[in-house]
Amino acid sequence: MAKLLGPDFMSLQVRNLSTSRTFYTELLGLTVDERFDTPDFVLFDTNSIPFALTAARVNLDEAPQPGWGVTLWIDCDQVDELHTKLEAAGVTIITPPYDGPFGRAFVFADPDGYRITANKNPWDRFPLGGRH
């Protein structure tokens, strides 16, 4: 029987790829996978699920909130340090750092208004198969 196995790839459509590329590389510390860096697509070199940005293929200005209803969590090695850096840069912080059931986390908005949760999950001390 065919079944879904889990997330395999994530990509956000953005209004200005250059602005978002700079935000994700310079403020968030992601590294671009140079093999997939084109004028309308950027893939980041991540340790988990591949993550990319692409030039918008829909009119994002017609959406009340980009990604409305989707919760995007991205693993972070130093949540409090990233929070301090983003706050100092004037990034919109939706929810300040807190300790929750999935570890230390906070929520911020990227240049397009996507709400992203940066979290240091408690399972990082286990091998990939050890998450339950």
Lowest mean pLDDT among 33-37, 69-73, 101-105, 121-125: 121-125
Are 107 and 96 in contact by the 8 Å Cβ rule? The answer is no
- The amino acid sitting at 57 is R
Q: Count of CB atoms within 10 A of residue 51's CB?
A: 19
Q: What are the structural domains of the chain?
A: 10-60+70-126 (3.10.180.10)
Are 120 and 75 in contact by the 8 Å Cβ rule? The answer is yes
Q: What span, in angstroms and rounded, lies between the C-alpha atoms of 56 and 15?
A: 6
Q: What span, in angstroms and rounded, lies between the C-alpha atoms of 51 and 1?
A: 29
Q: What span, in angstroms and rounded, lies between the C-alpha atoms of 106 and 80?
A: 8
Q: Which two tokens stand for residue 93?
A: 């912080």
Q: pLDDT at position 63, please? A: 85
Instruction: Convert the pLDDT of each residue in 85-97 to its tens digit.
Output: 999 999 999 999 9
Q: What is the pTM of this model?
A: 0.87
Q: pLDDT at position 107, please? A: 97
Residue with the two structure tokens 């980009």: 66
Q: What span, in angstroms and rounded, lies between the C-alpha atoms of 132 and 124?
A: 12
Q: What span, in angstroms and rounded, lies between the C-alpha atoms of 126 and 132?
A: 10
Instruction: Convert the pLDDT of each residue in 5-43 to its tens digit.
Output: 888 999 999 999 999 999 999 999 999 999 999 999 999
Q: pLDDT at position 130, please? A: 45
What is the arrangement of strands in the sheet containing 10-14, beginning at the earlier edge strand?
10-14, 51-55, 41-45, 31-38
